Amino acid sequence: MHHFRYIGHNLHCESVDLAEVARLYGTPTYVYSAATMADNYTRLSKSLSGLDFQICFANKANANLGVLRHFANLGAAFDFASGGELRRVLAAGADVKRSVFAGVGKTEAEIVLALTSGIFAFHVESEPELARINHVAGKLGVKAPISIRVNPDVDALTHAKISTGKSEHKFGIPLRFAAAAYEAASKYPHVALRGVQMHIGSQITEVEPLVEAVEKVAPLAAELKAKFGITYFSIGGGIGIVYRDALASGQAAWWEAQPADKRPMTPESYGAALVPLLKPLGLKVVLEPGRFLVGNAGVLLSRVEYLKRGHGKNFLIVDAAMNDLVRPAMYDAFHEIVPLHRDTTRRSLVADVVGPVCETSDCFAKDRSLQELGEGEYLAIMSAGAYGRTMASRYNARPLPAEVLVQGSAFELVAARETFEQTIAGEKIPAFLG
């Protein structure tokens, strides 16, 4: 469910006409719905009722300061993948006391930052990392709160590049070694054992792999609670969203029309399957959703530059590119593409929707059937709120795109499009070149 829909002929985000946003701020521009984010957060919270839980928004999915403040206002904590993400949360005016720090390569400087900021816990991914955290905490004269990430060796049934919970992945410590790792961790003088963590992958659309992983890790969690007094179990993130019928899935009717065996996992089915497994543990449950909270709350607006009619192939060349939204190039991801002005009297067109970057992989959609569009007309690439702008680059010397946050009929630029001067600000010609 989300807040993107046609009102009359024009696509709106909440009460805002997206063509107006495109005209005002140019394209490519990301637009986010505050109401959709709030709804996603509230629905997920409701589905966990009966548990003592804490939602830590994984801000690698969307780290815009306005978005972070919105989640902080809703009561969310955060999951960091780097010191930069921690600093963004602080810059957004939120505190990090209930937030957690993940990632396989935490540097000494990042550990110092997290300890001095007073985070809830480190999610430790290896023994050398544990030794380093212990060492840094000792130097600062504090105890570092930690949990170990265990790898339950479960197939998340998602794309290979976003699967993290099999034994061949770099993440966590294999479940069978976890008890020994906690035993070893308990000997370190400058760490405090707080919980246990798992995260098996992203864009998970069926509940079974999550059930299997929770069932595998729950006995360890119970054992660690009895032995070391841990207080929480983090079950990670990974809840998937609808990409293929993105626009239609904004309406309840779409969900009702899906046959029961085809309906993607919802917060309600997630909660119904997991709460009964988690409740008997008597531990706080930490969740780290990223994509679910923001993915369907954002679109990328773009303008048509050319319709190039080829030999047996048409190309709709737009002003957004793989540097703005890399998911199709990187993960072969599907994104629905819709016009901002819908005109049912137009013919339809089958085309590849491509950006201007000099790479064949700079392609948002192959052989897509769309309403015929011409130069200067706008379109929206749907479900672009997660892993969109946070993965953007400046490839082909393109500036980072703008971001706009909508709430009701209000909208504001929350990140200006980069200027050319900003893109070269850190560079210089070395003296030896004269």
Ligand X SMILES: *Cc1c(COP(=O)(O)O)cnc(C)c1O
Min dist. Cβ of residue 69 to ligand X (A):
19
Question: In this chain, which of 199, 303, 327, 389 binds ligand X, going by CB under 6 A?
Answer: 199
Is residue 236 involved in binding ligand X (CB under 6 A)?
Answer: yes
**Nearest distance in Å: CB 196, ligand X:** 13
CA distance 422 to 400: 10
**Window 53 to 92, contacts with ligand X (CB under 6 A):** 58, 60-61, 79, 81
User: Which positions are annotated as active-site residues?
Assistant: 358
What single letter denotes the amino acid at residue 120? F
Q: Least Å distance between CB 149 and ligand X?
A: 7
Please state the closest distance from residue 52 (CB atom) to ligand X, in A.
Answer: 19
Strand partners, 407: 410
27 vs 62 by CB, closer to ligand X: 62
Q: Is 303 exposed, middle or buried (0-12, 13-18, 19+ CB in 10 A)?
A: buried
- Look at residue 225 and give its three-state secondary structure: helix
Backbone angles phi, psi at 238, to 5 degrees: 110, -5
Number of residues in contact with ligand X, rule: CB under 6 A? 17
Instruction: Report the distance separating Cα 47 and Cα 271, nearest Å.
Output: 5
Nearer to ligand X by Cβ, of 264 and 289: the residue is 289
Q: Is 151 in the site for ligand X (CB under 6 A)?
A: no
Asked whether position 125 contacts ligand X by CB under 6 A, the answer is: no
The residue from 267, 290, 328, 385 that contacts ligand X (CB under 6 A) is 290
Q: Distance between alpha carbon 208 and the CA centroid of its chain, in Å?
A: 21
Which residue of 59, 117, 202, 249 would you call a contact of ligand X, by CB under 6 A? Answer: 202
**182 closest CA partner among 197, 174, 171, 193:** 193
Q: Give me the 242-281 binding string for ligand X, x by CB under 6 A, dash otherwise.
A: ----------------------------------------
Measured distance CA(368)–CA(323) in Å, rounded: 21
Please name which of 408, 308, 419, 406 lies closest in space to residue 22, comparing C-alpha atoms: 406
> Which of 291, 303, 327, 398 forms a contact with ligand X (CB under 6 A)?
291
- Contact predicate 318/282, CB 8 Å: no
Tracing tokens 């948002």 back to the chain, one arrives at: 364
Nearer to ligand X by Cβ, of 60 and 398: the residue is: 60
The nearer residue to ligand X, 25 or 32, going by C-beta atoms, is: 32
Near ligand X in 371-390, by CB under 6 A: none
The minimum distance between CB 102 and ligand X, in angstroms, equals: 4
Residue 219 CB, nearest approach to ligand X (Å): 21
The SS3 of residue 52 is coil
| Interface residue with ligand X, options 66, 195, 209, 237 (CB under 6 A) | 237
190-207: string of b/e by CB count within 10 Å (b at 16+)? Answer: bbbbbbbbbbbbbbbbbb
Q: Least distance from C-beta 389 to ligand X, angstroms? A: 14
For residue 161 the two structure tokens come to: 């590049």
Secondary structure element (H or E) that encloses residue 301, with its range: strand 298-309
Would you state the structure tokens that stand for residue 325, as one six-digit string?
A: 């939204």
Residue pair 13/391 in contact by the 8 Å Cβ criterion: no
Q: Which of 14, 17, 129, 288 binds ligand X (CB under 6 A)?
A: 288
Question: Pick from 165, 195, 238, 271: which binds ligand X (CB under 6 A)?
Answer: 238
Q: Which residues bind ligand X (CB under 6 A)?
A: 58, 60-61, 79, 81, 102, 199, 202, 236-239, 288-292
